[in-house]
Amino acid sequence: MDIKSYLTAKRTLVEEALSSILPESDEHLTTHFEALNYSLRAGGKRIRPILCMAAAEALGGSVAPLMDVPCALECIHTYSLIHDDLPAMDDDELRRGKPTNHTVYGEAEAILAGDGLLTLAFELLSRDNVALLNADVQLKIINLIARAAGSTGMVGGQALDIESENKEITFSTLRLIHSCKTGALITASVQSGALLGGADEDEFLAMTNYGRNIGLAFQIVDDLLNVLGTTEQLGKAAGSDAEHNKATYPAIFGLEATREKAGEAVAVALEALRHFDHKADPLRALAEYIYTRSN
Amino acid sequence: MDIKSYLTAKRTLVEEALSSILPESDEHLTTHFEALNYSLRAGGKRIRPILCMAAAEALGGSVAPLMDVPCALECIHTYSLIHDDLPAMDDDELRRGKPTNHTVYGEAEAILAGDGLLTLAFELLSRDNVALLNADVQLKIINLIARAAGSTGMVGGQALDIESENKEITFSTLRLIHSCKTGALITASVQSGALLGGADEDEFLAMTNYGRNIGLAFQIVDDLLNVLGTTEQLGKAAGSDAEHNKATYPAIFGLEATREKAGEAVAVALEALRHFDHKADPLRALAEYIYTRSN
C-alpha cells in the first residue's frame, strides 16, 4: 500500500477535525485562544490520531463519525510538547519548525495553553455520543487515555527524564523513561482505536502488543534522529539530547546497534498483527514508516 | 446545625479518600510522587469536595461509596494552585501556610505535579463504577467538570486574569474572571454532587443557581480577605492583589459595598434552595460559612 497517500489523506481528516473543535478566538480570551490554536494547528505528523483511526479500521470499524477521540489524543500530545519546551523543562525554542509557544506568548500563557489543551482532551472524550458509542466503552477509553497520560505514564516519564539529566542511569531506567514518556500515549492511541473498532479481548491484547512495540521503535528512532538529523529536517533543535546529557539509545549502544533494536521492535509489532487481515495493512505500513521516517 | 463539626467530619472523609488515591511514593519516581503528595495532602478547606458531598446528600443520595468525584475536584483545585503559584504566573511563595510546590521541588517538577494531578482527576472520574453509577451520568459528570476546568472555565479565567494585570478593566471583565476562575469549578462541584444524588432537571437547575451564587460570594470574600487578612491567617501572601495591580471588588467598590455584594449573592444562593427540605441544611450552612470565613 502507498503509506504516503494514506498518511496525507488521514492527516487532512485530522486537521479538519482539529479546526472544528476549537474556535479561532474568543471575545474575551484573544491571546489564550491564539496560543491554543498556534500549537494545535502547527502541523506535525499527527501520528497518534492516525494510529487510532488505523486501529479502528483494522477491526472493520470507522472512526470518521467519532473524531473526538483522535483529536483528544492530539490535544494531549500537543500540550505535552508545549510544557516540555518551557524554559524550566527542556528550554527549546523551535518546534515543528516554528518558535515554541512560550517564545511567542510568554511562559504564563504557554503553561495555560497546555493546561487548556489537556482539559479540552477530556471534554472531547466525554462528549455526548450516545447514539454512536456505548457509554461503558467510552468510559474505558477515557480511563486508559488518562492512565497513559498521567503520573504513571507520560507525565511520569517526563518527570523521570528531568530527574535523570546529568546522571548516570541504567538501561532499565532508560527503557522506563521511553515506555512512559512516549510509549504510553502511542499504545493508548492504538488501544482506544481498537475499542472504537469493537475489539474483543484477544484483539485488544494483540493491538496493545503492537502499540507497545511501535512506541518503543518510535522513541529509539527519535533518539537516532536527534543525533543524525539536522534542525531543519526535524523542525526542532538537533543534538539537544547530547547537550542536556540525556541518556539515549545511541549514547548507550552506538548508532548501528540502536538501529537494529528499532528494527527488532518493528518486527515484534508486525508479528503481533499476524491474525489480522488486509484491513490492518495501514497499521503494518505505519510500523515500517516509524522505522524509516526522517523527522 | 453545627457547620464546624460538619466540616470537620467531611474533611476527615476527604483526607482519608485523598490518601488512598495516590501512593506516597513510587519506586522510580520518588520526587514526582513526593511533589504530588506535598500539595494534595497540604490540608486546605476541601470546600469543593465537601460541596459535592453536601449536594448529593441534599437530594437524599450519599457520595460515601463514590469518593472519586470529590477527590477529582480537589485534584483539579490543587493543580490549579500549583500552576497559579509558579514564578511565571502569580509568583507566590506561600500556600496553605507552607512553601509553594515550586519553592520546594523546582519549577519543572511543579509544572509536572500540576499536570499529573489534573490528569489523575480524569482517571478517577472515569474509573469503573458500573455497579454504583450509571455510565451516562458518569460521562455527564466528567464532561461538566472538564468544561468548568478548561479554557472556557478555570484555565480561561486565569488567562484573563494574567492578561488583565496592570490594565484598567471593566466591571464586566472582572465578573467574567471571577465566574470562570473560581465560580466555574465551585458550580461544577455542586452540579456533580447533584447528579450523584440523582437530581432531576429542576433540582439540577436550582443547584446550578445555588452553585453560581456561592461561587461569586466565595470570590468576593477572597478579594476582601486579600485586603483585610494577615498572611498568617490566610496561609498565603496577603495584599498580593494590590501588589500585582489586580482588579478586585474592593478596588472598584470599596470595602463596605463589597461585603454587601457578597451578602446579596449568599441570599440568592439560599433562595435557590427554597424547595429543598432539611437535607439541604448543610448547603445552607456552607453558604453562610463562605460569607463569614476568615481564611
> What angle, rounded to 10 degrees, do the helices at A47-58 and A3-21 form?
110
Percent of residues, chain A, with pLDDT higher than 70: 93
Give the pLDDT score at A22: 86
User: Parallel, antiparallel, or unpaired: how do β-strands A98-99 and A94-95 relate?
Assistant: antiparallel
Task: Report the gap between the CA of A152 and the closest CA in chain B (Å).
Answer: 9
Percent of residues, chain B, with pLDDT higher than 70: 93
Quick check: A236 pLDDT over 80?
no
pTM of the predicted model, to two decimals? Answer: 0.94
Give the pLDDT score at B126: 95
Give the pLDDT score at B230: 63
In B, which residues are within 8 Å of A163 by CB distance?
29, 31-32
Give the pLDDT score at A230: 63
In B, which residues are within 8 Å of A118 by CB distance?
115, 118-119
Question: Band of the pLDDT at B242, cuts 50, 70, 90?
Answer: low
Give the pLDDT score at A133: 83
In A, which residues are within 8 Å of B176 by CB distance?
28
Give the pLDDT score at A292: 87
What's the whole-number mean pLDDT along residues B3-22?
94
Question: Band of the pLDDT at B248, cuts 50, 70, 90?
Answer: confident
Give the pLDDT score at A64: 73
What's the whole-number mean pLDDT along residues A178-200?
95
- Out of B116, B139, B151, closest to residue A32 by CB: B151
Q: pLDDT digits over B49-89, tens only? A: 999 999 999 999 877 778 999 999 999 999 999 999 999 99
d(CA A111, CA A102) in angstroms, rounded, equals 8
Percent of residues, chain A, with pLDDT higher than 90: 68
- Out of B86, B109, B125, closest to residue A159 by CB: B109
Give the pLDDT score at A25: 72
Are B86 and A111 in contact (CB < 8 Å)?
Answer: yes
Give the pLDDT score at A95: 87
In B, which residues are within 8 Å of A160 by CB distance?
28-29, 32
Give the pLDDT score at A197: 94
Are B111 and A111 in contact (CB < 8 Å)?
Answer: yes
Give the pLDDT score at A191: 98
* Mean pLDDT, chain A, whole residue set: 91
Task: Report the gap between the CA of A22 and the closest CA in chain B (Å).
Answer: 10
Give the pLDDT score at B245: 66
Are B126 and A139 in contact (CB < 8 Å)?
Answer: yes
Count of CB atoms within 10 A of residue A200's CB?
Answer: 9
Interface test with chain B among A34, A123, A167, A185, by most B beta carbons within 10 Å? A123
ipTM of the complex: 0.94
In A, which residues are within 8 Å of B88 by CB distance?
106-108, 111
C-beta of residue B75 within 8 angstroms of C-beta of residue B121: yes
Q: What's at A251, amino acid-wise?
A: A
Task: Report the gap between the CA of A173 and the closest CA in chain B (Å).
Answer: 8
Interchain CB contacts (distance < 8 Å): A and B: 163
Percent of residues, chain B, with pLDDT higher than 90: 68
Q: pLDDT digits over B153-205, tens only? A: 999 999 999 888 878 888 889 889 989 999 999 999 999 999 999 999 999 99
Cell output for B161? 486574569
In A, which residues are within 8 Å of B137 by CB distance?
none
Task: Report the gap between the CA of B8 and the closest CA in chain A (Å).
Answer: 30
Quick check: B130 pLDDT over 70?
no
What's the whole-number mean pLDDT along residues B107-130?
94
Task: Report the gap between the CA of B277 and the closest CA in chain A (Å).
Answer: 32
Are A119 and B173 in contact (CB < 8 Å)?
Answer: no
Give the pLDDT score at A267: 97
Are B136 and A143 in contact (CB < 8 Å)?
Answer: no
What's the whole-number mean pLDDT along residues A185-196?
97
Are B159 and A114 in contact (CB < 8 Å)?
Answer: no
Are A36 and B151 in contact (CB < 8 Å)?
Answer: yes
Task: Report the gap between the CA of A78 and the closest CA in chain B (Å).
Answer: 13
Q: pLDDT digits over A159-178, tens only? A: 999 888 878 888 889 889 98
Quick check: A130 pLDDT over 60?
no
What's the whole-number mean pLDDT along residues B131-138?
84
Higher-pLDDT residue of A191, A225:
A191
* Torsion-angle region of B233 (φ positive above 0: left; ψ -120 to 50: alpha; else: beta): alpha
Are B116 and A150 in contact (CB < 8 Å)?
Answer: yes
Quick check: A180 pLDDT over 90?
yes
Domains parsed from chain B with CATH numbers: 3-292 (1.10.600.10)
Are B83 and A160 in contact (CB < 8 Å)?
Answer: no
Burial B131-164 (b: 16+ CB within 10 A, else e): eebebebbbbbbbbbbbbbbbbbbbbbbbbbbbb
C-beta of residue B237 within 8 angstroms of C-beta of residue B231: yes
d(CA B110, CA B87) in angstroms, rounded, equals 11
Count of CB atoms within 10 A of residue B279's CB?
Answer: 15
